[in-house]
Amino acid sequence: MTGFEQYFIELADTHPKWNFVYFYQEVERSRIITGIYYTIGLSILTVFFSVVVGLVGAWMQGSKSKLARLTVQGFIQFFRNTPPFVQLLFFYFALGQFTPTHSPDGWLEVPIISNFGWAVISLSLFAGSYNVEIFRSGIEAVPVSTREAAESLGYNRFQSFTKIILPLCFRICLPSLNNNLINLVKTTTQAFGIAVPELLYQCISVYNDYSTSMNAVMLLMFIVFFLIVGLIAWSSSALERKLKIPGYGV
């Protein structure tokens, strides 16, 4: 036992309200580490898929067919005006019934999409609906003459979208995109509602195991989430500065 662990054991003895159980107990420590691992994994996956959803939606919004545009508009309005938490519950409990099941050991029937999978799907769609609007505003900011120039050079719609409009649009809408993605990382905690073992869930489990560890667990949650979100906010603003179009914007 190291002096570090010894210190917190003694602290728990002398100050029963400050029981930093996750610093000296293997089980609780592994809980916290799994929680951080899951939070980061969930964040990375949802950020990636929400950007994909946003790109596809923005591309569909510029399409000629009215049906496609209406579908995207309905999708955006639905996901923007309903609570993400209820979306999670609806996806996991209500739509989860209809997914096929497989059985790994011949006895259990496990749905193909786990609660983690549903959390990724529903949160990506939620943030994706915001991303569609963000990308659309970026696309609108690209001058029409640039688009026409691409057309005159023989680019088709897909090529001009991926090779000309997107690189420009991405740099224009990066600030609002970052804002939304930070918001998304904060929303991943709501996966607690469908028992995804991310940091909040694990912290509450630790608290349920040791009720004396309440203050310590709450402090840990506060600091870790502040650090994760702060790190993302800092790195994204650094990226913004790096990719800034010279002479564009403030």
Partner 1 sequence: MKNNFSILYTYNKKLYHTVDSTRFSFWLVNSGYKWCIAFLFLTILYPVNAMASNYTYTMAFQAFLKWVPLLVKSGFVLNVIISFFAMMIGTALGVILGLAQVSQYKIVRIFASSVTQLFRNIPWLVLLFIIMLTFPFEIETDDKIYKIPDWTKAVFGFSLPIMANISEIVRGAIKSVPLGQWEAAESLAFSRQKTFWQIILPQCYKRMIPPWMNWYAILSMATPLVSLLGVEEIITLSRQAMEAENNNPELLIPFYSFALLIFFAYCYPIAKFTIALEKRYAVKL
Residues that bind partner 1 (CB under 8 A): 77-78, 80-87, 89-90, 93-94, 97, 182, 186-190, 192-193, 200, 204, 207, 214-215, 218, 221-222, 225-226, 229-230, 233
Phi/psi class of residue 106: alpha, beta or left (left: φ > 0; alpha: ψ in -120 to 50)?
A: left
Query: C-beta of 53: minimal distance to partner 1 in Å?
Result: 19
Residue with tokens 């003694």: 10
Query: Which residue's CB is nearer to partner 1, number 71 or number 215?
Result: 215
Element (H, E) at 110: strand 110-111
The full DSSP string for 149-210 is: HHHHTT--HHHHIIIIIHHHHHHHSHHHHHHHHHHHHHHGGGGGGGT---HHHHHHHHHHH-
Which structure tokens are listed for 199?
């940091």
Query: Which residue's CB is nearer to partner 1, number 14 or number 97?
Result: 97
Query: C-beta of 59: minimal distance to partner 1 in Å?
Result: 23
Query: Which residue's CB is nearer to partner 1, number 162 or number 208?
Result: 208
Q: Which residues pair with 101 in a beta bridge?
A: 111
Query: Which residue's CB is nearer to partner 1, number 34 or number 215?
Result: 215
Query: Which residue's CB is nearer to partner 1, number 12 or number 182?
Result: 182
Query: C-beta of 243: minimal distance to partner 1 in Å?
Result: 22
Alpha-carbon separation of residue 183 from 21, 24, 168, 218, 220 (angstroms): 30, 33, 24, 21, 20
Query: C-beta of 96: minimal distance to partner 1 in Å?
Result: 9
Query: Which residue's CB is nearer to partner 1, number 25 or number 87?
Result: 87
Alpha-carbon separation of residue 196 from 37, 189, 205 (angstroms): 12, 9, 12
Planar angle of CA 220, 221, 225, nearest 5 degrees: 115
Query: C-beta of 80: minimal distance to partner 1 in Å?
Result: 7
Query: C-beta of 139: minimal distance to partner 1 in Å?
Result: 19
Residue 150 contacts residue 164 (beta carbons within 8 Å): yes
Burial of 170 (0-12, 13-18, 19+ CB in 10 A): middle
Q: Which amino acid is at 175?
A: P
Query: Which residue's CB is nearer to partner 1, number 40 or number 233?
Result: 233
Query: C-beta of 219: minimal distance to partner 1 in Å?
Result: 9
